Amino acid sequence: MMINHSSATEFYLLGFPGSQEIHHILFATFFFFYSVTLMGNTVIIVIVCVDKRLRSPMYFFLGHLSALEALTTSVIVPVMLWGLLLPGMQAISLAGCAAQLFLYLALGTTEFALLGAMAVDRYVAVCNPLRYSIIMNSHACNWVVIVSWMFGFLSEIWPVYATFQLTFCKSNQLDHFYCDRGQLLKLSCNDTLFTEFVLFLMAVFIIIGSLAPTIVSYTYIISTILKIPTASGQRKAFSTCASHFTFVVIGYGSCLFLYVKPNQKQAAEYNKIVSLLISVLTPFLNPFIFTLRNDKVKEALRDGMKRYCQLFKD
């Protein structure tokens, strides 16, 4: 236990409850998800870089989204897997905890900004196709990506700094598998009401702010698609947006439940479930969402496999 009024210099992650046998099963399950996530997102990045048919803004953004998904899950899952192998609590330093939380939030914020940009890209492609190549030129796309990454990392400096300015004297045991902000606030002996309110406002600004262009874009996209006279034309138009729309629903849905609420100190079990959705399930589904629902990506994958098999035979 911590001495009263002294701040923790390291934390112990409690991880998942249960016996060592259950932990081994969870380790095998999450290791499989993590391996597939890394391989799937890496494959997407490679084919976007090497296949000339995927040299368009949509796939340029997709490559960066896949990189963000791979990095986000790599910030959380290796620590979680190591904790499942250890017979007891896992120690993490104060600096390590701050770094993990910052990277996790910064990468997530960058992803939200990029998803909003991808929605605008789909709006231009569907609603203004004749000017698409002019509006979404390579210069504009590069700036969109640069601004998204800068916004993601700069916007999370103060929230993480404010969190670790608190005094953690109640305990040094975090009931989570990573350094979750809500659980950190529970350990503080300071009055965190103002900090929680500011963090809530920032979460609203980031998540709802990036969701707004998505909602507006898809309102115009759906309206435009419904005006297409043929059913085949409607299906073709919507197929260009289906993957992005599916990812938006999964990604925003889970994050809204976790971050956009005034009280950050919700139950640890609730936190763990939603965090697993964000850090494990969503990155795992990303390659399947963008390959199984996209004909160009599937075609590029098939051709790549054929070339690889041909080289192997030779």
Is 30 part of any domain?
yes
pLDDT tens-digit readout, 55-107: 888 889 989 999 999 999 999 999 999 988 887 778 889 899 999 999 999 99
Is residue 111 scored above 50 in pLDDT?
yes
Report the pLDDT value the prediction gives residue 261, as an integer from 0 to 100. 53
Phi, psi of 123 (to 5 degrees): -65, -45
In a domain, 163, yes or no: yes
What's the predicted TM-score (pTM) here? 0.85
- Residue 65 host element (H or E): helix 57-85
Percent of the chain at pLDDT > 70 equals 86
Q: Distance between CA atoms of 248 and 251, rounded to whole angstroms?
A: 5
Q: DSSP states of 196-264 as a string? A: HHHHHHHHIIIIIHHHHHHHHHHHHHHHHHHT-SSHHHHHHHHHHHHHHHHHHHHHHHHHHHHHSSS--
> How far is 241 from 237, CA to CA, in rounded Å?
7
Alpha-carbon radius of gyration of the chain = 22
Beta carbons of 114 and 210 less than 8 angstroms apart: no
Is residue 293, in this structure, part of any structural domain at all?
A: yes
- CA 88/CA 53 separation, integer angstroms: 51
Structural domain includes residue 2: no
pLDDT of 311 = 65
Contact yes or no for 291/297 (Cβ under 8 A): yes
The pLDDT tens digits for 274-301 are 788 888 888 888 887 777 666 677 777 7
* Assigned token pair, 139: 């210069």
Task: Report if residue 1 sits inside a domain.
Answer: no
> Could you tell me if residue 139 is inside a domain?
yes
Are residues 188 and 166 in contact, defined by beta-carbon separation less than 8 angstroms?
Answer: yes
Q: What is the pLDDT of residue 102?
A: 95
> Which 8-state DSSP code applies to residue 267?
-
Which structural domain range is residue 159 located in?
A: 10-313
Task: Judge whether 166 lies within some domain.
Answer: yes
pLDDT tier for residue 146 given thresholds of 50, 70 and 90: very high
CATH number at residue 226: 1.20.1070.10
Q: What's residue 1's pLDDT?
A: 41
Q: Of 231 and 109, which is predicted with more confidence? A: 109
What is the structure's pLDDT at 3?
44
The percent of the chain in helix, strand and coil, each rounded to the nearest 5, is: 75, 5, 20
23 falls within a domain: yes
Residue 253: CB atoms within 10 Å: 13
pLDDT in tens, 195-225: 888 888 888 888 788 888 888 988 888 888 8
Count of the separate structural domains present in the chain: 1
- With CA atoms as reference, report the closest residue to 76 among 100, 95, 92: 100
Q: Which of 77-81, 244-248, 269-273, 306-310 has the highest mean pLDDT?
A: 77-81
- Return the higher-pLDDT residue of 265 and 287: 287
Give bridge partners of residue 93 from the DSSP assignment. Answer: 10
Out of 111-115, 259-263, 281-285, the most confident range is 111-115
Q: Are 289 and 243 in contact (CB under 8 A)?
A: yes
Note the pLDDT tens digit of each residue in 6-31: 567 788 888 888 788 888 999 999 99
Average pLDDT over residues 146-163: 92
